[in-house]
């Protein structure tokens, strides 16, 4: 049985994000992503860097560079967050640890709902931001430290509003309290949170998809699409 060398490594330990990335890239490039072609840093037991950047773009680059330096394989990372207008653009880069503990989705959601308690629709406007950083191998070498790569960073957004309660079982992060604007004219999907949408419905309009579309040319080169 042959072992597939990854074509791309996602700098994340979030398996939900890995599956979403595979689905979106497959959708954008219209190709089948085979098992092992995209793996996560968790799959390889890679060391996670300290995300001490001052922006989504900086944090995405920090993560992608860390994976590239450790492996010499093309690396991709995203840094995503929720921006709530009335909170002065918070949670922002602190979205994943808004309640004080990294990755505790339920606690993050409940805290944010409580902070917006009793506010009307016009004060619940928000948008998701996703900065995607890709470091693509442009010159291979026997030694990892000699591999040369080019980096690119792009940003995507998804506008909407914060619901009054959690709804839906799909997705992750703040999906259960975020209602996208994109489906306002769709009688079937209007008013649904991202967590009530199917993966396909969400991926058509998501901030991550818009960011990845901006680097579709580079991704085509990696997957020979």
Q: Contact, 202 vs 209, CB < 8 A?
A: no
CA 191 to chain CA centroid, nearest Å: 23
- Strand 38-40 relative to strand 90-91, pairing: unpaired
Q: Is 79 a catalytic residue?
A: yes
Q: Do residues 86 and 123 lie in contact, with contact meaning Cβ atoms separated by under 8 Å?
A: yes
Of 35, 78, 79, 146, the catalytic one is: 79
| Cβ contacts of 11-14, under 8 Å, gap ≥ 24 | 11/40, 11/41, 11/46, 11/63, 11/64, 11/66, 11/67, 11/75, 11/76, 11/77, 12/40, 12/41, 12/42, 12/63, 12/77, 12/78, 13/40, 13/41, 13/42, 13/48, 14/40, 14/103, 14/172
As annotated, the active-site residues are 79
């Amino acid at each position: 049985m042959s072992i597939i060398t990854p074509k791309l490594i996602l700098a994340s330990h979030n398996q939900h994000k890995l599956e979403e990335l595979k689905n979106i890239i497959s959708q954008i490039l219209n190709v089948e992503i085979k098992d092992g072609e995209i793996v996560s840093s968790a799959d390889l037991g890679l060391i996670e860097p300290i995300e001490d950047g001052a922006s989504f773009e900086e944090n995405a680059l920090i993560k992608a560079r860390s994976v590239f330096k450790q492996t010499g394989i093309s690396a991709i990372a995203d840094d995503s967050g929720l921006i709530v207008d009335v909170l002065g653009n918070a949670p922002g880069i602190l979205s994943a640890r808004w309640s004080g503990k990294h990755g505790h989705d339920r606690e993050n959601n409940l805290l944010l709902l409580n902070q917006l308690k009793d506010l009307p629709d016009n004060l619940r406007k928000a948008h998701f931001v996703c900065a995607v950083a890709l470091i693509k191998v442009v010159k291979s070498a026997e030694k990892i430290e000699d591999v040369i790569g080019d980096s690119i960073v792009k940003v995507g957004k998804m506008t909407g509003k914060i619901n009054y309660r959690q709804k839906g079982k799909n997705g992750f992060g703040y999906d259960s309290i975020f209602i996208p604007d994109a489906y306002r004219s769709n009688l079937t999907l209007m008013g649904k949170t991202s967590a009530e949408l199917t993966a396909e419905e969400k991926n058509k309009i998501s901030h991550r998809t818009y960011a990845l579309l901006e680097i579709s040319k580079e991704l085509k080169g990696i997957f020979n699409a």
